[in-house]
Amino acid sequence: DAGVIQSPRHEVTEMGQEVTLRCKPISGHDYLFWYRQTMMRGLELLIYFNNNVPIDDSGMPEDRFSAKMPNASFSTLKIQPSEPRDSAVYFCASSWGSAGVSYNEQFFGPGTRLTVL
């Protein structure tokens, strides 16, 4: 079975450009999470969805970040405009659970390494 798929694996862009990261969760999972990993701040939860609906976006750093989940098999995280401090590894993870919260383990994708010059 395919795991969580993320694309691109690496992205290098210039400050001010729009960046779109993509994620395909494991089929049958109804929770999808976006994380950001940096040396300074570690792993941070940005937003998570349940049944395609955003449940908690309190971790989204600012209005430049937006996430969507148009269907159960696809999600995007967009940064517009990008800034050098957005450079990080962005992980998508999926899981399953009852309504509102998943108490189960998360399956992570390989991550997208974003570099903003």
By the criterion CB under 8 A, which residues form the site for other proteins? Answer: 33, 42-43, 45, 55-56, 89, 91, 93, 100-101, 103-111
User: How far apart are CB 111 and other proteins at their closest, in Å?
Assistant: 5
Residue 16 vs 97, nearer CB to other proteins: 97
| Least distance in angstroms from the C-beta of 80 to other proteins | 25
User: Which CB atom, from 25 or from 111, has the smaller least distance to other proteins?
Assistant: 111
Do 88 and 74 form a contact (C-beta atoms < 8 A)? no
For other proteins, which is the closer residue by CB, 42 or 70? Answer: 42
Best CA proximity match to 29, nearest among 78, 102, 100, 90: 102
- Nearest alpha-carbon partner for 116 in 91, 86, 96: 86
Residues in a beta bridge with 91: 35
Number of H helices, E strands in the chain: 0, 11
Q: C-beta of 81: minimal distance to other proteins in Å?
A: 26
